[in-house]
C-alpha cells in the first residue's frame, strides 16, 4: 500500500504542469514615447533611408534592431559627430544628447528596446533646414568616372563652372549637391577672377575628360583659395550666410570646384564609380548685402615625425593685419587622418586668450562648420593662435588595400596621407 502511494505520487508529479513564472516588470521606457524624439533630434538627419550614414534607423523596427549599436556610439561620444568642445564656446544647432538622454537610451536598450504604443508617439521639434533658392545651378559638366583618375584610393579632381554672371552679384546662400555621396568626401568651390579665366580654361583643356587633376596644388589658380564661395562635407545642409551678409561673385568670373574622392568606397557592393556633383547658388544684386568672406587661419610648414604619438604644431599671426575688423560668425577645422585636435584662440594685446573653436577627438570623416551663438569681434591689436595635434604612431596609421601603413615623416600636402592644419573662418569686415 505504501509502495502504491509513492508510485501514484510520482506519476502525478511527472504529469504536473511546469511552475508558472511570475510576470516580469512592465517596461518603463518606450521607443515611440521616449527614444523616437531623441533620434529625430540628433541622429536621423543622417541615419535615414537614402542618407549619408551607413546605417538607417529612421523606423521603429530599424531603431530596435540597432539599439545596442546606437547606445554604444552615443555613450562613447562618437555620435552624434559634433566634436567642438562645449567648454570652449557655444554653437548653434548642437545635436549632442544631454546626460539624462544618454541614460534613458541605455535604460531602453537594457529593457530589450521595447517599442511601446504607437498612440504615445512623440516627435522632436527639429529646426527647419535653411532654404536656398537655386537661381543658378551648375554641374561638373558630365558624369565623371572616378576610376579614370591615377588609381590611388584618395584623389582630387577640379572642375570649371560658369555662373554666367554678366553683372557683379552676391551669394547669400548655396547648396552643394553631391552626385555620389558614397564617393565624395568633401567639396570646396572658389571664385576665379576674370583676369585668370583663360588660365583656368587652359588647365581644363589640357587634361582629357571632365575636369583636371589637382591633387598636389589646391586648384592650380594662384590666389583662388582666398575667394571661397561654397563648401560641403558629409552631414552638411543647404547653407545660408549670416543674415544680411553674402559672398562676392564678380561679373565675368568663373568658379572652380574641387572634389575630394574617397575610392575606398568602391570596395562596397553596389557603389557606382560615377559622380556628377552640382552647385546651386542663390543670387542678389551687388551692394545690397554686407560682404562676407571665408578664409583660413593655418600653420603651413608642418613636420610631423614618424612614430611621434603627440606632435603639437602651433602658429600665431596678427589678426588685425590679415583680417582687419573681422566679425567671426562660423568656424570649421581641417586636418587629415593623423589629426587628433585642432584649436583656434583669440589672443588679446594683454595676452588674454579666448577660445573660439576646440575640436577634440578629431574625426577625418566628419568635418563640419560650427556656427557661433555669439559672433566674435576681432580687434586690430589681436592675434590668432592655432594649435593642431597629431598622432603619428604605428597604432594610428591608415589602412590601404587592407595593409596598415608604416609611420613616416609627414608634411603639408593635398593628399589625405599628407597633413593640414587650419580653421576656416566665416566673417564680415
CATH number at residue 240: 2.60.120
DSSP one-letter code for 226: G
Structural domain includes residue 411:
yes
C-alpha cell at 111: 529593457
Q: Residue 239: which of 187, 181, 175 has the closest Cα?
A: 175
Domain-ending residue, one of 120, 139, 168: 120
The pLDDT of 231-250, averaged and rounded, is 88
pLDDT given at position 218: 78
User: Pick from 288, 388, 285: which is nearest to 340 by CA?
Assistant: 388
* pLDDT above 80 for 324: yes
Compute, in degrees rounded to 10, the torsion defined by CA atoms 215, 310, 300, 265.
Answer: 20
Tell me which residue of 317, 321, 305 sits closest to 422, measured CA to CA: 317
Q: Looking at the structure, tell me whether residues 333 and 279 fall in a common domain.
A: no
Residue 323 CA to residue 429 CA, distance in Å, equals 8
- List the beta strands (DSSP E) in 237-319: 239-240, 245-249, 254-262, 274-275, 278-285, 290-298, 303-304, 311-318
Q: What domain range includes position 309?
A: 290-429
In a domain, 248, yes or no: yes
In this prediction, residue 23 carries a pLDDT of 54
How many helices, marked H, and strands, marked E, lie in the chain?
A: 7, 24
* Domain shared by 102 and 142, yes or no: no
Same domain, 294 and 412: yes
Separation of first and last alpha carbons in the chain = 108
Q: Are residues 399 and 294 in the same domain?
A: yes
List 105's β-bridge partners, or say none: none
Residues 138 and 251 in one domain: yes
pLDDT, tens digit (0-9, with 9 covering 90-100), for 19-29: 555 555 677 88
Q: Which of 10-14, 23-27, 104-108, 313-317 has the lowest mean pLDDT?
A: 10-14
Determine, yes or no, domain membership for 9.
Answer: no
Query: Mean pLDDT throughout 93-119?
Result: 92
Same domain, 302 and 404: yes
- The confidence score (pLDDT) of residue 269 equals 84
What mean pLDDT do residues 265-276 have?
A: 87
Residue 342: CATH number of its domain: 2.60.120.230
What was the pLDDT predicted at 17? 56
Report residue 178 as a C-alpha cell. Answer: 553631391
Question: Residues, the chain, total?
Answer: 429
The confidence score (pLDDT) of residue 19 equals 56
Q: Is the pLDDT of residue 323 over 90?
A: no
The answer to whether position 20 is within a domain reads no
Query: Of 268, 288, 308, which closes a domain?
Result: 288
The verdict on residue 405 lying in a domain is yes
Contact yes or no for 242/326 (Cβ under 8 A): no
Q: Are residues 422 and 323 in the same domain?
A: yes
Residue 16, in any domain of the structure: no
163 and 74 in a single domain? The answer is no
Q: Are residues 302 and 401 in the same domain?
A: yes
Q: Where are the beta strands (DSSP E) in 45-197?
A: 136-139, 144-145, 154-161, 169-177, 184-192
Query: Are 295 and 151 contained in the same domain?
Result: no
Looking at 264, 288, 312, which one is the last position of a domain?
Answer: 288
- Confidence band for 287, pLDDT divided at 50, 70 and 90: very high
Residue 13 lies in a domain: no
pTM of the model: 0.80
Q: Please, which pLDDT band fits residue 200 given cuts at 50, 70 and 90?
A: very high
What is the DSSP code (8-state) at residue 27?
P
What pLDDT, on the 0 to 100 scale, is given for residue 6?
39
The set of cell numbers assigned to 45 is 538627419
Within 10 angstroms of residue 58's Cβ, the number of other Cβ atoms is 18
- CA-angle at 42, arms to 98 and 235, nearest 5°: 135
- For residues 415 and 69, the model is more confident at 69
Q: CB–CB of 136/164 below 8 Å?
A: yes
The grid cell for 187 is 567639396
Burial code (b: 16+ CB inside 10 Å, e: under 16) for 79-95 equals bbbbbbeeebbebeeee
Residue 366, pLDDT score: 80
Give me the number of domains the chain comprises: 3
* 282 and 299 both lie in a single domain: no
CA distances from 166 to 97, 170, 280, 291 (A): 48, 12, 17, 19
- Evaluate if residue 37 carries a pLDDT over 60: yes
17 within a domain of the structure (yes/no)? no
| One domain, residues 412 and 380 | yes
Burial of 244 (0-12, 13-18, 19+ CB in 10 A): exposed
Residue 173 pLDDT > 50: yes
Amino acid at each position: 500500500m505504501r509502495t502504491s502511494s509513492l508510485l501514484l505520487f510520482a506519476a502525478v508529479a511527472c504529469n504536473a504542469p511546469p511552475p508558472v513564472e511570475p510576470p516580469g516588470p512592465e517596461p518603463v521606457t518606450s521607443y515611440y514615447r521616449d527614444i523616437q524624439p531623441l533620434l529625430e533630434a540628433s541622429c536621423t538627419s543622417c541615419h535615414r533611408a537614402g542618407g549619408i550614414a551607413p546605417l538607417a534607423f529612421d523606423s521603429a523596427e530599424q531603431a530596435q534592431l540597432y539599439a545596442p549599436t546606437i547606445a554604444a556610439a552615443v555613450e562613447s561620444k562618437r555620435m552624434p559627430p559634433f566634436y567642438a568642445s562645449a567648454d570652449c564656446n557655444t554653437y548653434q544647432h548642437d545635436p549632442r544628447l544631454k546626460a539624462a538622454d544618454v541614460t534613458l537610451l541605455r535604460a531602453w536598450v537594457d529593457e530589450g528596446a521595447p517599442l511601446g504604443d504607437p498612440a504615445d508617439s512623440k516627435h522632436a521639434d527639429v529646426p527647419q533646414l535653411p532654404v536656398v533658392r537655386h537661381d543658378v545651378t551648375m554641374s561638373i559638366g558630365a558624369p565623371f568616372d572616378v576610376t579614370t583618375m591615377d588609381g590611388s584610393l584618395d584623389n582630387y579632381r577640379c572642375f570649371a563652372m560658369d555662373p554666367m554672371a554678366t553683372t557683379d552679384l552676391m551669394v547669400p546662400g548655396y547648396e552643394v549637391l553631391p552626385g555620389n555621396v558614397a564617393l565624395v568626401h568633401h567639396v570646396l568651390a572658389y571664385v576665379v577672377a576674370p583676369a585668370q579665366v583663360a588660365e583656368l580654361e587652359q588647365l581644363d583643356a589640357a587634361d582629357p575628360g571632365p575636369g583636371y587633376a589637382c591633387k598636389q596644388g589646391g586648384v592650380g589658380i594662384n590666389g583662388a583659395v582666398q575667394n571661397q564661395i561654397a563648401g560641403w562635407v558629409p552631414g552638411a545642409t543647404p547653407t545660408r550666410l549670416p543674415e544680411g551678409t553674402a559672398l562676392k561673385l564678380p561679373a565675368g568670373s568663373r568658379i572652380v570646384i574641387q572634389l575630394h574622392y574617397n575610392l575606398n568606397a568602391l570596395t562596397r557592393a553596389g557603389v557606382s564609380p560615377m559622380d556628377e556633383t552640382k552647385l546651386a547658388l542663390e543670387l542678389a544684386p551687388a551692394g545690397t548685402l554686407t560682404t562676407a568672406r571665408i578664409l583660413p587661419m593655418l600653420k603651413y610648414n608642418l613636420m610631423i615625425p614618424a612614430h611621434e604619438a603627440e606632435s603639437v604644431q602651433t602658429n600665431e599671426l596678427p589678426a588685425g593685419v590679415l583680417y582687419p575688423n573681422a566679425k567671426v560668425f562660423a568656424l570649421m577645422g581641417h586636418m587629415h587622418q593623423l589629426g587628433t585636435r585642432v584649436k583656434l584662440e583669440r589672443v588679446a594685446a594683454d595676452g588674454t586668450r579666448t577660445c573660439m573653436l576646440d575640436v577634440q577627438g578629431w574625426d577625418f570623416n566628419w568635418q563640419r562648420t560650427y556656427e557661433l551663438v555669439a559672433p566674435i569681434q576681432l580687434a586690430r591689436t589681436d592675434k590668432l593662435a592655432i594649435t593642431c595635434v597629431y598622432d603619428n604612431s604605428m597604432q594610428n596609421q591608415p589602412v590601404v588595400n587592407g595593409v596598415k601603413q608604416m609611420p613616416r615623416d609627414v608634411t603639408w600636402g593635398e593628399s589625405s596621407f599628407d597633413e593640414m592644419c587650419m580653421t576656416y573662418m566665416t566673417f564680415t569686415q
